[in-house]
Amino acid sequence: METFWTESVGRVWQVVKKEVIQILRDRRFLVLVLITPVIQTVVFGYVANVDVTDIPTVICDLDRTTQSRELVDRFLQSGFFSPIGIIDDPREADRWLDGGRAKVVLVIPAGFSKEVVGKKTSEIQVLVDATNSNVAGIAGSYASAIVAAANVDMLLARLARIGIRTEETVLVEPEVRVWYNPELASVNFMVPGLLCVILMTSTMNLTGISMVREKERGTAEQLSVTPVRSWELVLAKVLPFVGIGFINMVFILFLGIFWFGVPLNGSLGLLFALSGVFIFTSLGLGVLISTLAATQQQAMMMAQFFMVPNMLLSGFMFPIANMPLAIQYVTYLIPLRYYVEIVRRIFMKGAGLPELWNQLVPLLVFGVVAVGIASLRFQKVQK
């Protein structure tokens, strides 16, 4: 029994060595595989900024009174809207919005102050370029919060003018506290998610392709006549990519924590341990793909085909809570979803194993199923 294992380890080691030599020989590829995640993380960290501030805004103040200027100031001083132009004719709004220079046009009608001081409800218009529905939604929510606050003040001012004084000006103070991510920084949300996506790409896609290459070149047959057993072969082919996956992970963590200042509240050891589980699942999927594909091109396309739903439905960029219920159920079939959840919770909420087992179990199930089917199919393909 003992010799069986030592022999087996020896055989696996030989194939791993062969694989590593093969990878090291193609320097360009190696550099690419190691550098790409770094570039992606840097670009993502800077770009994935949905904290909308300084929305380019055009002011169309047809009233030009103290009251209207006060309202305009409320918008501009909020820090969300920054003025890029003033127009006198609301019809000019078209030009600004069509060209994409302005995202918001604030229109205060003539007679605004008369209505505010007087008895009627006055109407202002906030025109939003909604081609980007994300930014438009945020701009809309800012605008309505600003107008709601202005309303309270104007109501009290109106009352004061007619001699009615309320004892307290403000009765209910909303005290907002943001947990886990008080500065509402995008990087804190994005970097952990990105880690997951990159890890999946570098393990699943690359293994899938590397296994098929052997098939396509005909070297798979050569390998099958060697004493290497098929499971040993799979293991050996997969191990270098486990290494690459972990190296990528270290790079991304380093960048995220030290460059972007993303706080890691949980345990680093746990993060690595659970990432190991995910890598197992992801490699299982890669091997599965390789048994289904005849050429590298097919393997690549299938991997990509599988990757896109994983990216979109894992909650990596688009929160699952905002999806319609039916789609939310579909997301349970997405392996990446569980890993994204695990990494985010460890990062932001400092979660430990007891809080994470409900994500870990489905992830493991996916892994075992994928590896199981893959090894069954692999044996068939080998025979």
Partner 1 sequence: MKRQRVLALIKKEFITIRRDFSFALNIFIFPLIMLIIYGYGIRFDIRYLPTVVWDLSQTPQSRELVEKFLASGYFRSAGAVSGYHEIEKMFDQGEAKLALVFPADFGSKLARGEKTDVQILVDGSDNNTATLAVGYASGIVQGYQADLVVEKLAQKGIRLPFQVPVVREEARMWYNPELKSIRFILPGIIVVIMSVMGTIMTAMAIVGEKERGTFEQVASSPLSGMEFLVGKIIPYIFLALVDMVLIVAAGYLLFRVPVAGSFALLFFFSLLFVAVTMGLGLWVSSVSNSLQGAMTLAFLVTLLPSILLSGFIFPIENFPAVLKALTYLNPGRYFIEALRGIYLKGVGMAVLWPQAVFLSLLGATLLGLTLLRFKKRLA
Nearest distance from C-beta of residue 123 to partner 1, angstroms: 5
Collapsed DSSP state (helix, strand, coil) of residue 198: helix
Closer Cβ to partner 1, 110 or 152, answer by number: 152
Among 344, 346, 366, 374, binds partner 1 (CB under 8 A): 344
Check binding of 21 to partner 1 (CB under 8 A): no
Closer Cβ to partner 1, 113 or 275, answer by number: 113
CA angle 64, 68, 73 (to 5 degrees): 115
Nearest distance from C-beta of residue 11 to partner 1, angstroms: 25
Collapsed DSSP state (helix, strand, coil) of residue 105: strand
Among 79, 182, 227, 269, binds partner 1 (CB under 8 A): 182
Q: In this structure, are strands 104-108 and 81-86 parallel, antiparallel, or unpaired?
A: unpaired
Sole residue written with tokens 């109501």: 155
Closer Cβ to partner 1, 164 or 225, answer by number: 164
Among 4, 89, 173, 269, binds partner 1 (CB under 8 A): 173
Q: Which one, of 287, 273, 271, lies nearest residue 340 by Cα?
A: 271
- Map the footprint of partner 1 across residues 49-78, applying CB under 8 A: 49-56, 71
Q: Which stretch binds partner 1 (CB under 8 A): 8-16, 45-53, 229-237, 375-383?
A: 45-53
CA distance 4 to 173: 73
Burial class (CB in 10 A: 0-12, 13-18, 19+), 285: buried
Locate 162 and state its tokens: 């007619």
**Amino acid symbol at 116:** V
Check binding of 221 to partner 1 (CB under 8 A): no
- Map the footprint of partner 1 across residues 191-220, applying CB under 8 A: 205-206, 209-210, 213, 216
Among 150, 277, 364, 381, binds partner 1 (CB under 8 A): 150
Q: Which stretch binds partner 1 (CB under 8 A): 7-15, 311-319, 362-370, 372-380?
A: 311-319
CA distance 288 to 301: 14
CA distance 155 to 166: 11
CA distance 70 to 124: 13
CA distance 91 to 366: 58
> 362-372 b/e with 16+ CB inside 10 Å = b?
bbbebbeebbe
Check binding of 348 to partner 1 (CB under 8 A): yes
Closer Cβ to partner 1, 8 or 257, answer by number: 257
Among 158, 224, 229, 379, binds partner 1 (CB under 8 A): 158
Check binding of 148 to partner 1 (CB under 8 A): yes
Check binding of 171 to partner 1 (CB under 8 A): yes
Closer Cβ to partner 1, 3 or 66, answer by number: 66
CA distance 102 to 82: 10
Closer Cβ to partner 1, 86 or 301, answer by number: 301
Nearest distance from C-beta of residue 110 to partner 1, angstroms: 15
Nearest distance from C-beta of residue 284 to partner 1, angstroms: 20
Q: Which stretch binds partner 1 (CB under 8 A): 128-136, 224-232, 246-254, 373-381?
A: 128-136
Q: Which one, of 363, 373, 273, lies nearest residue 314 by Cα?
A: 363
Sole residue written with tokens 């993303």: 262
Q: Which stretch binds partner 1 (CB under 8 A): 3-11, 123-131, 224-232, 238-246?
A: 123-131
Q: In this structure, are strands 81-86 and 55-61 parallel, antiparallel, or unpaired?
A: parallel
Nearest distance from C-beta of residue 46 to partner 1, angstroms: 5
Nearest distance from C-beta of residue 93 to partner 1, angstroms: 9
Closer Cβ to partner 1, 1 or 21, answer by number: 21
Nearest distance from C-beta of residue 274 to partner 1, angstroms: 16
Residues in contact with partner 1, total (CB under 8 A)? Answer: 126
**Amino acid symbol at 67:** Q
- Maximum CA pair distance of the chain? 99
- Map the footprint of partner 1 across residues 248-307, applying CB under 8 A: 293, 295-298, 300-302, 304-305
Query: Within 10 A of 137 (CB to CB), how many other CB atoms are there?
Result: 13
Sole residue written with tokens 């949905």: 50
